[in-house]
């Protein structure tokens, strides 16, 4: 199993945009992203804070992405 690296929300958003997700709306500090195929996810945008491992895992589950694919995309960003 690959170790998962924590990242800031902005970096997660750049990964989502590269995967074809589009900004849908924002309510407070939570940004909603959607994909043309129906997948959706929410990214909390708290300045100066990294996303926790559990939250990253939940986002990856909601967008059907493995930890290995996430790490590859994170390194290529």
What pLDDT does residue 77 have?
67
CATH number of 9-76: 3.30.920.30
Instruction: Give the DSSP H or E segment for 49.
Output: none
List of residues 6+ apart from 73 with CB closer than 8 A? 15, 18, 19, 65
pTM for this prediction: 0.91
List of residues 6+ apart from 74 with CB closer than 8 A? 5, 7, 11, 15
Q: What is the pLDDT of residues 18-59, one digit of tens each?
A: 999 999 999 999 999 999 999 999 999 999 899 999 999 999
What pLDDT does residue 76 have?
85
- Give how far Cα 9 sits from Cα of 6, 37, 47, 49, Å: 10, 23, 8, 8
**Domain spans of the chain?**
9-76
């Amino acid at each position: 199993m690959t170790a998962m690296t924590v990242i800031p929300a902005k970096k997660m958003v750049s990964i989502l945009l590269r995967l074809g997700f589009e900004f849908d709306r924002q309510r407070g500090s939570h940004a909603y992203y959607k994909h043309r195929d129906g997948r959706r996810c929410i990214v909390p945008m708290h300045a100066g804070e990294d996303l926790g491992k559990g939250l990253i895992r939940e986002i990856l589950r909601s967008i059907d992405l493995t930890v290995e694919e996430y790490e590859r995309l994170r390194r290529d960003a």
